[in-house]
Amino acid sequence: MKNIIKLIVNENEIDQRVDVFINKQENSLSRTRIKNLILKEKLKINNSIIINPSKKLNIRDKIQLEIPEPEKASLKPYNYKLNIVYEDDDLLVIDKSAGISMHPGAGNYNKTIANALMNYCGKSLSNIGDELRPGIVHRIDKDTSGLIVVAKNNISHEHLSNQFNKHTIKRIYQALIWGKLRPQNGIIETLITRSSKNRQLMEVSFNKGKKAITNYKTLEIFENKNSPTLSLIECKLETGRTHQIRVHMSHKGNNILGDKKYKKKFKKIKNINLDLEKKILNLNRQFLHAKILGFIHPKSRKELKFISNLPQELEKILKNLRKLSK
């Protein structure tokens, strides 16, 4: 059964964006969900359908937002062993391996995390988002590993989405990049938009796109005659744009090792350690790992924090680099 939210704009609420106004009145709904409902023509202002989430409001405007019945997921279950690090009645925290997509997309409709969640949880997942993404609150790239949180019900989904929208979720990644960052510690703040040359890629823009902020810190620098110059860095996200860390490192000229989309050509070094060279050439993923995830639990309101160790294939490269640096 669908639900209709009815609101009236008061004098002290004029000139607000309609999506912001609704979110303030109904804070159980995330801004993202409100925006998606507006784009799906579920909003009426003074009985006229409005599809602009940023529309400014006038005094005594009558707002009606239809909340439709959640769609039933049409995913095929996928028998895949999920690495679950935490589970309760409201959510799951999963340590995702590289090589598996978060949800169905072109060319892969059945072997994703979303399909695996259908197999593991069945109907015990939130269903207020895309029907092909039950439970999915946020994403990490196919060839990135690490921690993700999954919602088991709609209340948890909305609460977690609000934390992501307000940038209060703690997300820290580790990456191995080519060269050295200058300065070694800092903040990258740019706009990110879809690439004009390749629609599958993103790029930094100076006049359009969404604001993206990455705080970075250099942890180790590997520099000797038997290896290329590489740096292990930590990135703390303030925003979560598509490919954000990868785009920001590429923009700085320090691409992530193993990144085939935003790649840097591997230069042959005369005296390179053969074992290290083999590991670099055989790396079939980017050296990017979602190491720390922290958030407020939707029901208990307790702060939760999870830490994931680097996968073995990445740890082996670091071990080799550290050995050469002695």
The residues, ordered by sequence, that sit 6+ positions from 96 with a Cβ below 8 Å of its Cβ are 83, 102, 113, 140, 144, 145, 146, 147, 148, 290
**How far apart, in whole angstroms, are the C-alpha atoms of residue 2 and residue 63?**
16
Q: Identify whether the C-beta of residue 128 lies closer than 8 Å to the C-beta of residue 157.
A: yes
User: What are the tokens at 46?
Assistant: 């003074």
Unique residue bearing structure tokens 């072109």: 106
- Determine the 3-state secondary structure of 86 from DSSP: strand
Sign of CA dihedral 105, 294, 146, 199: positive
d(CA 245, CA 256): 9
CB environment 23-40: b (16+ within 10 A), e (fewer): beebeebbbbbbbbbbee
CB within 8 A of 319, min separation 6: which ones?
Answer: none
Bridge partners of 215, per DSSP, are 187, 236
Distance CA 136, CA 125 (A): 9
Kindly name the residue from 19, 141, 143, 259 that is annotated as catalytic. 141
Residue 324: both structure tokens together = 């050469």
Instruction: Tell the burial category of 134 from Cβ atoms under 10 Å away from its Cβ (0-12, 13-18, 19+).
Output: buried
> Which are the contacts of 280, defined by CB distance < 8 A and separation ≥ 6?
257, 258, 266, 317
Active site residue 141: yes
| Active site residues per annotation | 141
